Amino acid sequence: MSLVRDLTPINLLEEKQKFFDQNCKYNPYFKYNNLATLDKLYKYGQPKPKYLALAQEILDKAFHNQTEADIRALEGKLLNRAQAQIMIDKFLTANDLNKLIKIVWSDKFLGKASYYKNVLKLQLPLWHRRAEFKGTLYHELGTHAIRRINYAHQPFFKKKNKFGFEDYMRTEEGLAGLHTLLARNFKLDYTGALNYVTSAVAQKKSFTETFNFVLKYIDDRNRAWRYTVKHKRGLYDTAKSGGFTKDIVYFEGMIKVWQFMQQSDFDLEGLYLGKIAYEDIAKAREMNPGFVPQLPSFIKKDKGKYIKEINKIARINKLDQISST
């Protein structure tokens, strides 16, 4: 979490006010407690042409003659907090997580949902629709939480650097992204695609130019601001090109995890051995050969249906047309 903390501007609210006071034509000048070095800023690399082309194709298809509001309307009725809590309780019970997971609601959270150290943080006011919220549960609890619970039982728990494990973020977020789509009605990964293309735009454009690009897809100016901050953070002067590229891992990860599933005949237990990259599954098994990981209920209930739906997501998003090399 230290890198995320270092990349959070300490004058974010003041610069946001200036930005909107100047009719969104001001490039913020961010200040930080610790300025991230370039190697940390670009820890996850740069957007790649073959993924960028697919991401733009997905955006074009998703937003053809419709807005984000139209897309979200396909996910069912808006939930209130009580309805969301019922869905949470049902999911926790189905996965024996009631005693392990703490739920915290707050209007202070910047993101709509996040999971860290057995705490699920949910933003108020709630703006999810039913299938969207189900996707959030699949993402945060069905993926992040259960992978971490399994991880805590491994001999390499909090010792991955010592044993030479690779960075796990693409596997983590790629699998979570597939599971988000698994629950949703609209199967095009327009959110992952928008993250990917926006990251590429931010590497060449200023804050205001990136913001105007995001507005083509997200018509809420406050959300577009937050979206742009994610991609331009790490810079002092956001009139310059560049910015933190972590958000490319969602789209790249989804592609790579699906390719791994194909190559491994859907080795789902391997993907749930802990918070590890799929490249380290063999090493994890060698270190703890008798370990049987917990799997989420949406896999255990009907693995065949799960595989069918994941392959459907891959076809719709043309993941099967991307080379694995």
Query: What's residue 125's pLDDT?
Result: 87
Tokens 């903390």, residue located: 5
Residue by residue, DSSP assigns 14-37 as HHHHHHHHTTT----B---SSPPP
Question: What is the predicted pLDDT for the residue at 110?
Answer: 66
β-partners of residue 78 are: 129
Q: What is the pLDDT of residue 325?
A: 65
Catalytic residues: 140
Report d(CA 83, CA 101) in Å as an integer: 18
Predicted local confidence at residue 13, as pLDDT: 93
Q: State the Cα–Cα distance between residues 201 and 56, nearest whole angstrom.
A: 12
Q: What is the pLDDT along the chain (325 residues), one digit of tens a residue?
A: 467 778 889 999 999 999 999 999 999 999 999 878 888 899 999 999 999 999 999 999 999 999 999 999 999 999 999 999 999 999 999 999 999 999 999 987 767 888 988 899 998 888 899 999 999 999 999 999 999 999 999 999 999 999 999 999 999 999 999 999 999 999 999 999 999 999 999 999 999 999 999 999 998 999 999 999 999 999 999 999 999 999 999 999 999 999 999 999 999 999 999 999 999 999 999 999 999 999 999 999 999 999 999 999 999 999 988 877 6
Strand partners, 312: none
CA torsion 313→315→319→322, rounded to 10°?
180
Q: Quote the pLDDT of residue 20.
A: 97
Contact indicator for 145, 97 with CB cutoff of 8 Å: yes
SS3 237: strand
The pTM is what?
A: 0.94
Identify residue 26 by its one-letter amino acid code: Y
307-313 CB contacts, 8 Å cutoff, 24+ apart: 307/266, 309/182, 310/178, 310/182, 310/258, 310/261, 310/266, 312/187, 313/178, 313/181, 313/182, 313/187, 313/189, 313/258
- H/E segment holding residue 250: helix 248-263
Looking at the DSSP bridge assignments, the partners of residue 105 are 122
Res 260: pLDDT: 97
Task: Say how many Å lie between the first and final Cα of the chain, rounded.
Answer: 31
- Contact 15/30 with Cβ under 8 angstroms? yes
User: Which pLDDT belongs to residue 322?
Assistant: 86
Residues pairing with 102 in the sheet: 119
Largest CA distance in the chain: 61
d(CA 184, CA 198): 23
**pLDDT of res. 89:** 96
Instruction: Give me 305's structure tokens.
Output: 């249906």
Cross-strand pairs, 120:
103, 115
Which pair of tokens denotes residue 323?
């080379």
* Contact residues for 254 (Cβ-Cβ < 8 A; gap 6+): 173, 174, 177, 178, 189, 192, 317, 319
The tokens describing 56, both together, are: 């733009």
Q: Which of 195, 7, 1 is nearest to 116 (CA)?
A: 1
State whether residue 212 is helix, strand or coil: helix
Which letter does DSSP use for residue 266 in this model? -
Smallest Cα–Cα separation from 9: which of 230, 240, 239, 246? 230
